[in-house]
Structure 1
Amino acid sequence: MLLPSHHRRAPPRRGGRQPRGGEGSGVADLSSRLAGFLFLLALVAAALCLSSSSSRACSGRRHEEGGSRETLPGGSGATPRVTIFAAPRPPPEGSPARQELAVRSWLALPGNVSVVLLGVHASWLVTAGRLGRRVTVDAAIDSAFMGTPFFHSIVARAQAAPDSDICVLVDAEIILLPEIFDALAHFSKVDRDWFLVAMSRNITEFHYQLADNGSHWVRADGKNVSFKKLQEIPADKWASESSDRGLIMAWNSPSSPLHAGVLPSFLYGRGAHNWWLTHEVLSSEMRLVFDASSLVLGLYPESFSSMHDVSSSKNDRLPAGSWEYNVNRHLAAIYGSYCYRLPRRHSTVLHKVVKQSEEYTFSKADELTLSDFIISKEEKAHGGGSLWRNENSCLSGHLHSSDLPYSLSMLLELAADKNRSVVLGVAGVSYRDMLMTWACRLRYLRVTNFIVCALDHETYEFSVLQGLPVFRDPLSPKNVSFDDCHFGTKCFQQVTKVKSRIVLEILKLGYNVLLSDVDVYWFDNPMPFLYSLGPATFGAQSDEYNDTGPINLPRRLNSGFYFARSDNATVTVMQMIVKHATNSGLSEQPSFYDVMCGENGTNRISDDKCLEANTNLTVVFLNRDLFPNGAYKGLWEKHDVQSTCKELGCFILHNNWINGRKKKLQRQMSSGLWDYDPSSRLCLQDWSDRGSFRQMGHFYPFEDSDR
């Protein structure tokens, strides 16, 4: 399949009319004899060609069996559609000058090339607009709360590319040379799924820039520079801790899987993920793997000459010992076989690619040659050695190093909006998938001022690996039931009392709090509306299910969705609620109503308000068309829940008034109000298959798992 095709040339065609009689007959006879002689020569030549072709084919088969070098298929064919994906890093970690030069080098490649920049930074939209229609910006990828994109989301976005034959994933500051498109054009004719990996050249100085039209490179004095000259720039070896950034990866058949298993939630640009993926693709043996590191496909300039405005340096970048790097090492150590020394065996899919006389040839190999371009710390100290997997990623200490270095007060400072307001979600292990669909929805709405309180260590660690701004409550109950912690249970009573206590703690730190249970689906961001209620006002959802009549009747305040301001009146009332709930054998919810509206509603001042007598705190029961509970107007039973709620103008819809975790999950999935894929641990995007989750809601048994 990978051998070159050999075609026999057809014999010369005989044609034309024969002259008749007279003087022309001798000429015709001579012509006829000459034609016959030429025909015999053609037959001999064809026989020799056939023999030679057969010999080469047999020789090719022997080469394939023996692992010798072969020529990659050439010939005619449609130009492949190549899409280059990159996630630029904002300053000061990334350099806009380096990134724009890199993207311009991609656009200068021959052939059908387009570029997709992944992320939400405003400067990338400006860059894309300046560089033309072939550059687009896609913000629909998952990112951690510090803004770092997730590698598995980037790969999933590339796999979903609808109009691409080949995907290229590369660091946003790597300059690509035309050699890469030439190589990819040759590989595009291989009729099997393949994966190409190459190490870019790490160069210290880069004194060149693209001409205005992007057609060629020039020196500082304006003189042209050949591509061969660029390929000959002296390169340094990559340091092992940063080598992951230098890998160039490309693959065909974007919709086909790259490897067996699940791609963990690596933080992009924080080490280990490119090496891990390459190892898993190779060990899965689902694709041919081409090691093209002998080719100079890209350059990574660590610094520019004075003609460039460099806004960052290596010293500005996140240190390799930071917690984000530790998260990636942790994931690399526990997922796949990257950190396990498997028995050495002959690879059936790995091939080394070289270029000879303008032809690309390959030979079977047992190991990748990427480590030839890397120097480890041990080599620096002792000299010698080789590196395939980064042993630092496989140290057992990283198995327990996925804690965030942030206290609650630090998270509040990072997350709060300009009004010092935060959204608080509280969840335990039984509701972590619902926690994630809640968080994914907030991310989709660009609500970034949320934090999560984890009720147990499992939820805390899960949230860290999912990029959530999470903290652990050390006083949470230890015996939280997985399936029996819904309304009315003893477990529910214990867990809800955690929420009011945490809210009070945040209020005392000077932040306003919107407490939202994770079973509340958000259609729009309600924070501006709630903030507009004004000071000394407490806004809470009504749990009244009757369509008409007062909505603030006794025990009809829902403590799963409310907005509390950090003022003296609210802090005083919350202290009273926490104390009342502590001494109650019920959940915290009755305590909210009894403290603020009085037992039996003695503090009601209208059909939707109460006035707490000691502090004059006004309690507003929120309009149910805007903030409906799970029993209001039978919204959850509507054929199209989303359209119905949008017609009402809903900000949110609470998935309450239903017993049991499984029924709650089933109702939310089948309604289409689900934004998370537990199998891939990805938020559902516009390019995701959402329909399958609606079907899962109808048929999924919701069995417990160890994910």
Structure 2
Amino acid sequence: MSKKKEKTQSLNDAVRKGVPYGFVDYREYRDSRTQIKRKKAFQVGVWSLWSIWLCGLALFCLSLYATQCFLPSLKDQIMRPKLSQRDAGVSEPPRIIIFSAPRPFTGSVGARQSLAIRSWLALSPQIAVVLFSKDPSVVSFAGAFDSRVLVEPNIDFTFLGTPFFHSMMARSRSFSSDISVLVDPETIVLPDFISTMNYAYKLDHDWLLVASSRNVSDLPFYLDEDGKHWRRENGKLMTTQEEIFGQSWQSTPCEGKLLMAWNNKDLPLHSGVLPPFLYGRGVHNSWVVSEALSSELRFVFDASWTISSFYLVDQEHQTDWNVGGSNASNFERSWEYAGNSHIGALYGSLSYHEINYHSLVKLLKCDGQYIFVNTTENIVCPTVYQSAGRLWKGWILRFGWKKNTLAWAEGVKSPGQLSDCSQMVPTKHTKPLDLPFSLETLLSFNADKNNTIVLTAAGYSYKDMLMSWVCRLRQLQVTNFIICALDQEIYEFAVLQGLPVFRDPLAPSEISFSDCHFGTKCFQKVTKVKSRMVLKILMMGYNVLLSDADVYWFRNPLPLLYSFGPAVLAAQSDEFNKTGPINLPRRLNSGFYFARSDGSTIDAMKKVVAHAATSDLSEQPSFYDTLCGEGGSNRVGDDRCLEPETNLSVHFLDRDLFPNGAYLDLWQRKKVRAACVKQGCFVLHNNWIRGRLKKLERQVLSGLWEYDTSTRMCQHHSKLVKKV
């Protein structure tokens, strides 16, 4: 088709479709109409958007006007956090208990502790103090304050007297209060503590606050005799905060003198179990804060700016060996710090998630009002609330006032600001943990006034039974014991548990974990260690009561055993028949006996050790065959033997008072404890049973068990909640 015909055909088509004149092509016409429609739609849309924006602006202005007229100011909203219903009306002030673990009240240490505790009591009549200690001087000090100061000895201590932090925290839950506070025994706390506690008490969720202290070298004022007012040296009343803030001070490492407080509502401080840290030996405070932040169960904040506290620096003793009652030197206590660092590296998140204390929300006070500030995230937080198990911060201010407030907050200089905590980051020790004590030193520390030591020996497979034995002796206030470690694992375990432990360099290696019970080759080797160590200690001038860890003590038998006099070895009988002689052949039980450090006993024990060294059996047959003669040739009557060469007398103990595991079927009774108490037992031996697990099961199910393996704490039986 020619171009002319194509154009004519296109024109005819356009006419049929109603295309106006001037558009020679229908496609040109269609495109033009589309552009016109789009232009009209755009104009309509623009006018609609302008209308919506103008209406929104009008509504915003109306809302702003209403807010100014009927609601508190924006600044007031920022300054006032969300409080609980306790703030709605007049309420009673919170009941506060301050917990601490002081040293003995002697010398300059006692004076500083006395001043600190009196400053706590001066804060409010609603404050009571609980001191964790078993020292008589602490009991005497507390007696002057009636019921406001209590002494709580029922926690775990090391053999040097250092309290266990996890035991203190667990015991604090047995006291009823609104707020619990843990503070160093030498830290003086000033009155702004109360206003901060009253404010925190009204927060509508669970919280944990921390506050560090400053140190001062001189205190030119004192607390009057009534314990109510601070006075200058000339006797005039003083403004506490201003006077102290005018003194020279130094910042404190975050761990050293940290004050911690928390409300007692529903939630724990953190998830998981608190490890067996030693109080005052570093790491434990940082560990708690780290776990509280990681767990997100509580709102954690730094109140160093609103709680004023300080402590006096002892210029003569700069090193902070601030807890524990023994006379051990600084060097001898270094292992306690190493142990805490080691535990902190093994458990929890602190070892790989170092705390940035600068990032903690800070509680500040401005124009008489409290506010929360997070300077690292440029957030002012007047409210905090709980949602789905997580704590969120609200009312994030995005106006000019925020910038000014944050600038002011950054400029606040707190002498107790939590800052350098790197020195408290735990490290796992590659070298074995060691006590810096020789056997001679341990004996001198632990022997009683009669120069007597209670000795036991254990391997790692019996660690839980060992701890139950230790806990029971502590309940009976028997502290003159030491432990011979049969392997490296039990040695390190005992060190971390604060036990007086030593290694036997000649102990057999490769001790079986589950197959070292009576009759096994392992058992035969292990038992010979005990008689050898008893002889060594006797030759060093100490009497020895050897007690296996599977011997449960109902009463302290030492007063009775002392009555047998010199040249007498008092031993348990293994005879199971109810009647007849108890000194029959090989019925001397070498798992419980008392030996005096005298010539006859030492010479006789040398013969026993020599006999056992050449025997393929355990040491027990060597005791009987050496002292009572093979076949009982040296027997005297029904309960004695006399070794003719050394003139040592062997006395077999009354089985009603010292029953073995088969006598009278005591272990099969439904109420083993009641049966033994009624019978007057001093001890009950958990023998005459094969297998470690069966032995453990029998003792645990009987109720003769004093150790909580899940928390690594002794079970203290006074469970009543105490109100102070």
Which bracket does the TM-score occupy, shorter chain normalised? 0.7 to 0.9
Question: Pairwise mapping of residues 32-71 of structure 1 onto structure 2 (< 5 A)?
Answer: 51=67, 70=81
- In the alignment, which residue of structure 1 is the partner of 2:195? 182
- In the alignment, which residue of structure 1 is the partner of 2:139? 125
Asked if 1:489 is matched to 2:520, the reply is yes
Partners in 2 of 1:233 and 1:512 — Cα distance? 60
Q: Secondary structure at the match of 1:539?
A: strand
Q: In the alignment, residue 324 of structure 1 is paired with which amino acid? A: E
Q: Secondary structure at the match of 2:217?
A: strand
Q: Secondary structure at the match of 2:216?
A: strand
Residue pair 2:305, 2:414 contacting (<8 A) in 1 also: no
Give the counterpart of 1:141 among 107, 131, 155: 155
- In the alignment, which residue of structure 1 is the partner of 2:238? 225
- In the alignment, which residue of structure 2 is the partner of 1:314? 318
Q: In the alignment, residue 200 of structure 1 is paired with which amino acid? A: S
Residue pair 1:553, 1:601 contacting (<8 A) in 2 also: yes
Partners in 1 of 2:236 and 2:357 — Cα distance? 51
Shift of 1:245: 2.8
Moved more, 556-565 or 581-590: 581-590
Give the counterpart of 2:670 among 633, 636, 639: 639
Deviations 1:499-530 (A, max 9, x none): 11111111111111100000111111111211
Partners in 2 of 1:594 and 1:199 — Cα distance? 66
Q: Secondary structure at the match of 2:171?
A: helix
Q: Secondary structure at the match of 2:313?
A: strand
Does the C-alpha gap of structure 1 residues 361 and 92 become closer, same or farther in structure 2, counting only changes over 3 Å?
same
| Percent pairwise identity | 52
Asked if 1:331 is matched to 2:343, the reply is yes
Question: Pairwise mapping of residues 188-587 of structure 1 onto structure 2 (< 5 A)?
Answer: 188-238=201-251, 240=253, 243-253=254-264, 256-302=267-313, 313-314=317-318, 317=321, 319=330, 322-341=334-353, 350-364=360-374, 373=415, 387-390=420-423, 393-395=425-427, 398-400=429-431, 402-587=433-618
Shift of 1:237: 2.4
Shift of 1:416: 0.9
Shift of 1:82: 0.8
Deviations 1:571-604 (A, max 9, x none): 1111111121122111111111111111111111
Does the C-alpha gap of structure 1 residues 478 and 56 become closer, same or farther in structure 2, counting only changes over 3 Å?
farther
Partners in 2 of 1:269 and 1:467 — Cα distance? 14
Partners in 2 of 1:678 and 1:100 — Cα distance? 37
Structure 2 stretches of 5 or more lacking a match?
1-62, 322-328, 378-408
Does the C-alpha gap of structure 1 residues 612 and 345 become closer, same or farther in structure 2, counting only changes over 3 Å?
closer
Shift of 1:616: 1.2
Residue pair 1:263, 1:680 contacting (<8 A) in 2 also: yes
- In the alignment, which residue of structure 2 is the partner of 1:156? 170
Residue pair 1:116, 1:137 contacting (<8 A) in 2 also: yes
Residue pair 1:160, 1:255 contacting (<8 A) in 2 also: no
Does the C-alpha gap of structure 1 residues 92 and 403 become closer, same or farther in structure 2, counting only changes over 3 Å?
farther
Residue pair 1:173, 1:300 contacting (<8 A) in 2 also: yes
Q: In the alignment, residue 387 of structure 1 is paired with which amino acid? A: D
**Number of residues of Structure 1 aligned to a counterpart in Structure 2:** 616
Partners in 2 of 1:470 and 1:255 — Cα distance? 40
Shift of 1:536: 0.1
Partners in 2 of 1:547 and 1:371 — Cα distance? 79
Residue pair 1:71, 1:360 contacting (<8 A) in 2 also: no
Partners in 2 of 1:424 and 1:280 — Cα distance? 39
Does the C-alpha gap of structure 1 residues 536 and 254 become closer, same or farther in structure 2, counting only changes over 3 Å?
farther
Partners in 1 of 2:69 and 2:301 — Cα distance? 27
Q: Secondary structure at the match of 2:584?
A: coil
User: TM-score, structure 1 length as denominator?
Assistant: 0.81
- In the alignment, which residue of structure 1 is the partner of 2:398? none
Asked if 1:103 is matched to 2:136, the reply is no
Moved more, 144-153 or 292-301: 292-301
Residue pair 1:333, 1:399 contacting (<8 A) in 2 also: no
Asked if 1:171 is matched to 2:184, the reply is yes
Partners in 1 of 2:211 and 2:686 — Cα distance? 49
Q: In the alignment, residue 508 of structure 1 is paired with which amino acid? A: M
Residue pair 1:555, 1:593 contacting (<8 A) in 2 also: yes
Partners in 2 of 1:125 and 1:333 — Cα distance? 36
Q: Secondary structure at the match of 1:322?
A: helix
Partners in 2 of 1:248 and 1:516 — Cα distance? 43
Q: Secondary structure at the match of 1:584?
A: coil
Structure 1 stretches of 5 or more lacking a match?
1-46, 305-311, 377-385, 690-707
Residue pair 2:100, 2:130 contacting (<8 A) in 1 also: yes
Deviations 1:266-304 (A, max 9, x none): 221222222222222222222110210112332212259
Q: Secondary structure at the match of 1:116?
A: strand
Q: Secondary structure at the match of 1:510?
A: coil
Does the C-alpha gap of structure 1 residues 254 and 495 become closer, same or farther in structure 2, counting only changes over 3 Å?
farther
Partners in 1 of 2:230 and 2:355 — Cα distance? 47
User: TM-score, structure 2 length as denominator?
Assistant: 0.79
Does the C-alpha gap of structure 1 residues 374 and 472 become closer, same or farther in structure 2, counting only changes over 3 Å?
farther
Q: In the alignment, residue 259 of structure 2 is paired with which amino acid? A: I
Q: In the alignment, residue 318 of structure 2 is paired with which amino acid? A: K
Q: In the alignment, residue 331 of structure 1 is paired with which amino acid? A: I
Shift of 1:619: 0.3
Q: In the alignment, residue 332 of structure 1 is paired with which amino acid? A: G
Partners in 2 of 1:641 and 1:326 — Cα distance? 42
CA RMSD, aligned part only? 3.1
Residue pair 2:212, 2:417 contacting (<8 A) in 1 also: no
